[in-house]
Amino acid sequence: MIVELGHYALIIAFATALVQSVLPVVGARRGDQSLMAIGDTSAIVSFLLVLLSFCALTYAYVVSDFSVQNVYENSHSLKPMIYKISGVWGNHEGSMLLWILILVFFSALVAFFGRNLPKSLRANVLAVQGWITTAFLLFVLQTSNPFARIVPTPMEGRDLNPILQDIGLAIHPPLLYLGYVGFSICFSFAVAALIEGRIDAAWARWVRPWTLTAWIFLTGGIAMGSYWAYYELGWGGWWFWDPVENASFMPWLAGTALLHSALVMEKREALKIWTILLAIITFSLSLLGTFLVRSGVLTSVHTFASDPSRGVFILAILVVFIGGAFGLFALRATSLKSGGLFQPISREGGLVLNNLFLTTATATVLIGTLYPLLLETVTGEKISVGPPFFNLTFGPLMIPLLLAVPFGPLLAWKRGDLLGAAQRLYVAAGLALLAGLIVVYFTTGAPVLAALALAIGFFVMFGAVTDLALRAGVGKVSAGIAMRRLAGLPRSAFGGAMAHFGLGVMVIGIVAVTAFETEAVAEMAPGETIDAGGYTLRFDSMDPNQGPNYVEDVGHFTVLRNGAEISRMDSAKRVYTARQMPTTEAGILTRGFSQLYVSLGDFVTPEGAEAPTAIVVRVWWKPQVTLIWIGSVIMAFGGLISLSDRRLRVGAPKPHRQRKAGGPVMEPAE
Amino acid sequence: MTRKQKRLAVIAGGMGVVAVAAALVLVALRDEIVFFHSPSDLLTNAVEPGTRIRLGGLVANDSLNRSSGTLVRFAIEDGGSEVEVEYNGILPDLFREGQGVITEGAFQPGSPVFVADTVLAKHDENYMPREVADSLREQGVWQGEGEAN
């Protein structure tokens, strides 16, 4: 009964989404207040209906109702409760429902918090959200109904793919989707602005919090996914340039560019057309990512069972929305007046440079991701584009960008002084080089290139600190005044510096683990030892163990340093009984920022022996690897601080802007 | 600088970056991509020793052989032909005889053995790598859809 209720709620949500798609636009055209207001109501009603539907599916999972096909295929009565719930989005149908839930959640937020937006803009934004909602609800109802029943009811479910039974899965997709789908708001704002044919600095100020919100979640989601793959898959890699990773990385790159260009538009009314285009591109890349992941055209951990009709459906959505938005852009972009002039060497110039490199990098990732598909379609040849491609194309583009990061915030708007900025960065650059050299000195035989790359990471970090110090006037005024000035800085200044600082931290982690990682593989019998990264691992014993829905063999290890025991660690091989599927549970020991990573391979049974006498063990020493994720968290946190800035809150215009915003500029287009 | 000159400078700079990126992409697409081959492909189309390729098919039954330590040997077949593969390391969890697999590596000069440095894991027991499914269908070994599930 509850399941049917969920299904009906979804169908009614489709109807309200249709209403939301049409009436507010008509209202905005005619200047009809009551029609425009329907946008708010229908957005909130759609959200409640989809939420109801999502709760109904969750309920079916919680009570293990195997008469629902989706539950039967992806759940098991013995599964721990947390994985029953996270299993709701651990499959195609459920994850699409989550996608839509987040989409309507953002629409409802606009309806709820967007009171200060001009009425016609809000109506148009909600209508565009309505179009996207309608398309995806139709997709779910037509091709991916999560509420389908099966007769007769099976006694037991087929269980969730074991590698998805992890706390990482409970967090990773919702975060990622909040980011991915959050960019739909930027898209809707852009399309609404194009429909109205007018756009100004106020528009950028309204869009920025939404962009920032989506960006924060996407940053967190990608970092979380990376760490999950790192510890769960047991290969010790943190980024594979897998097409599906790229699918989430491209919107992040474009979204980061959007965040910076919206800044220029907000402060200087320049780059309007470009910002609109970026907003469209960012969400288009999100849609493309959804298509790549959900259609099954790619081979990846994320592709669930595929059905050709789904791929075609999403492709159609993709073509309509991206094509439509670009078409509208081509028609209307020329009518948008561009604003403020600036010298190439200026804050604006720096941000343009940032955009140039970020979008070019996005393009190289896009080519690397789509080229194999394209080549196979055209010539039938099958190729794979792996890390070497991206290291050669994406890598070199990031170096000048990273070097430029500390300069940007030190340049003045309109006309900057490059020499002055460079002089103020002497200290940071000197310290960064010193830090790089120290690393080379202490890790004998370190490649000079790695030292330079590390120095770049330090430069970005120190540059962010320099920025804050200069703003506070450290060295020019007394320490007390500098402290007070520092505390008085706007939060967005802190947020920006912090995000840059986090970027530097992440770069250091990436370089360190790439350059200094060591690895050892050996066949080990109990009592034997293996060395990695200055530590010695002694294999003690192997014990069987029984979990709720799996059996495992746990290998116990003792970690020694210079002969003294410092810790113990376990690594296991599991077999999930429902699917008879084995997984590797890596053992991880964190020392400072570095990690020791142990994973188990096959048992070795000598000829004639009854039972295995040894096991293949693989050990990695991963120096400073956690900095990669710590850096991302710092970046996301910087975004959060910036978001809390009063100035950026939705509808908190500055006094002198208020008159303008209420004036003729933002009146509905007649 | 006049407004026009400034704009030209910005555009020229932008084009420069894009040109460098395009050059990098072209070089990378020439040198850094890896072609997929099935064992029967290799019968008609020999691959130069040392060229990195991906080799995929089914792990032949009774072919898995663990000689010493971590060195593993097995054969990949697709109904038409069979290739001996050597790999040093830990095999993925779902590696089994009779199951689909993709390996990456190169042939050594003067040896018919394919030396793999990567064996790709499957993440689901029902899942068949798409490249492998296609080539098996060509050989008539397997009739399923793109991905079995």
Strand partners of residue A600? A617
Contact (Cβ atoms closer than 8 angstroms) between residue A421 and residue A407: yes
Closest CA relative to residue A98, chosen from A188, A171, A22: A171
Mind spelling out the 3-state secondary structure of A272-328? HHHHHHHHHHHHHHHHHHHHHHHHCCCCCCCCCCCCHHHHHHHHHHHHHHHHHHHHH
Phi–psi pair at A399, nearest 5 degrees: -60, -55
Q: Is A590 helix (H, G, I), strand (E, B) or coil?
A: strand
Which residues, including other chains, have CB under 8 Å from residue A453's CB and lie 6 or more apart?
A: A507, A511, A515
For residue A560, what are the CA distances in angstroms to A529, A534, A554, A557, A565? Answer: 10, 9, 19, 10, 4
Other CB atoms within 10 A of residue B123 CB: 21
Asked whether residue B59 carries a pLDDT value surpassing 90, the answer given is: no
* A495-523 average pLDDT score: 91
| Exposure string over A614-639, b if 16+ CB within 10 A, otherwise e | bbbbbbbbbbbbbbbbbbbbbbbbbb
Cβ distance of A344 and B32 shorter than 8 Å: no
| Cα–Cα distance, A376 to A420 (Å, whole number) | 52
The whole-chain average pLDDT of chain B stands at 78
Test the A interface: residue of B18, B32, B67, B97 with most A CBs within 10 Å: B32
Pull the structure tokens for residue A94: 């459920």
Between A296 and B101, the higher pLDDT residue: B101
* A608-612 average pLDDT score: 77
Place of tokens 């010695």: A536
User: Which domains are assigned to chain A?
Assistant: 1-164 (1.20.120), 166-402 (no CATH), 405-516 (no CATH), 518-622 (no CATH)
The whole-chain average pLDDT of chain A stands at 86
Asked whether residue A630 carries a pLDDT value surpassing 70, the answer given is: yes
Pull the structure tokens for residue B104: 């990456």
Which residues, including other chains, have CB under 8 Å from residue A414's CB and lie 6 or more apart?
A: A268, A340, A341, A342, A343, A346, A347, A348
Which residues, including other chains, have CB under 8 Å from residue A426's CB and lie 6 or more apart?
A: none
Closest CA relative to residue B121, chosen from A234, A186, A148: A234
Q: What is the pTM of this model?
A: 0.90
Closest CA relative to residue B51, chosen from B131, B116, B127, B105: B105
Q: Is B129 helix (H, G, I), strand (E, B) or coil?
A: coil
DSSP 8-state class, residue A334:
G
Least confident of A403-407, A539-543, B33-37: B33-37
Phi–psi pair at B50, nearest 5 degrees: 90, -15
Closest CA relative to residue A557, chosen from A578, A579, A575, A538: A538
- Could you say which of A299, A305, A601 has the minimum Cβ distance to residue B90? A601
Q: Is A5 helix (H, G, I), strand (E, B) or coil?
A: helix
Q: Is B74 helix (H, G, I), strand (E, B) or coil?
A: strand
Pull the structure tokens for residue A658: 């208020």
Residue A640 pLDDT: 94
What is the percentage of chain A residues whose pLDDT exceeds 70? 93
Asked whether residue B145 carries a pLDDT value surpassing 60, the answer given is: no
Which residues, including other chains, have CB under 8 Å from residue A455's CB and lie 6 or more apart?
A: A432, A433, A435, A436, A437
For A353, half-sphere exposure in the C-beta direction (CA atoms, 13 angstrom radius) is: 24
| Model pLDDT for residues A17-58, shown as the tens digit of each residue | 999 999 999 999 898 888 989 999 999 999 999 999 999 999
User: Do you find a cis peptide bond into A152, omega within 30 degrees of 0?
Assistant: yes
Confidence of residue A298 (pLDDT cuts 50, 70, 90): low
Which residues of B carry a binding-site annotation for heme? 123, 127
Q: Which range, A556-570, A593-607, B130-144, has the best average confidence (pLDDT)?
A: A556-570
Residue A444 pLDDT: 60
Asked whether residue A233 carries a pLDDT value surpassing 60, the answer given is: yes
Asked whether residue B137 carries a pLDDT value surpassing 80, the answer given is: no
What is the percentage of chain A residues whose pLDDT exceeds 90? 43
Chain CA centroid to CA A177, Å: 8
Burial of B81 (0-12, 13-18, 19+ CB in 10 A): middle
- Could you say which of B13, B28, B54 has the minimum Cβ distance to residue A384? B54
| Cα–Cα distance, A575 to A584 (Å, whole number) | 9
Place of tokens 């120190």: A462
Distance from CA of B71 to the nearest CA of A (A): 10
Least confident of A75-79, A301-305, A383-387, B50-54: A301-305
**Beta strands at A550-561 and A581-585: parallel, antiparallel or unpaired:** unpaired
Least confident of A108-112, A214-218, A330-334: A330-334
Instruction: Please tell me if residue B13 touches chain A, with a CB cutoff of 8 Å.
Output: yes
Chain CA centroid to CA A327, Å: 28
Residue B40 pLDDT: 84
Instruction: Please tell me if residue B23 touches chain A, with a CB cutoff of 8 Å.
Output: no
| Model pLDDT for residues A634-668, shown as the tens digit of each residue | 999 999 999 888 665 544 444 444 433 333 333 33
Asked whether residue A518 carries a pLDDT value surpassing 60, the answer given is: yes
- Sequential DSSP letters for A520-570: EEEEE-TT-EEEETTEEEEEEEEEEEE-SSEEEEEEEEEEEETTEEEEEEE
ipTM: 0.81
Residue A653 pLDDT: 46
Which residues, including other chains, have CB under 8 Å from residue A383's CB and lie 6 or more apart?
A: A371, A372, A375, A376, B33, B34, B35, B36
Q: At what angle do helices A626-643 and A491-516 cross, to 10 degrees?
A: 170
Pull the structure tokens for residue A426: 């002497």
| Model pLDDT for residues A181-211, shown as the tens digit of each residue | 999 999 999 999 998 887 888 888 888 899 9
- Could you say which of B20, B28, B131 has the minimum Cβ distance to residue A382? B131
Which of A:231-260 have CB within 8 Å of B? 233-235
| Model pLDDT for residues A409-427, shown as the tens digit of each residue | 888 887 778 888 888 888 8
Which of A:334-363 have CB within 8 Å of B? 341, 343-344, 349, 352, 356-357, 360-361, 363
Tell me the Cα Rg of chain B: 22
| Model pLDDT for residues A69-104, shown as the tens digit of each residue | 999 988 888 888 888 998 898 888 999 999 999 999
Least confident of A295-309, A608-622, A637-651: A295-309
The yes/no answer on whether domain B35-138 falls in CATH 3.40.50.150 is no
Residue A305 pLDDT: 44
Q: Where do the structural domains in chain B lie, given as residue ranges?
A: 1-33, 35-138
Which residues of chain B neighbour A299 with C-beta distances below 8 Å?
A: 129-131
- Could you say which of A296, A383, A522 has the minimum Cβ distance to residue B70? A522
| Model pLDDT for residues A250-282, shown as the tens digit of each residue | 999 999 999 999 888 888 888 888 899 999 999
| Model pLDDT for residues A432-457, shown as the tens digit of each residue | 888 888 877 776 666 778 888 999 99
Confidence of residue A339 (pLDDT cuts 50, 70, 90): low
* A310-337 average pLDDT score: 86
Which of A:591-620 have CB within 8 Å of B? 599-602, 604, 616, 618
Asked whether residue A135 carries a pLDDT value surpassing 90, the answer given is: yes
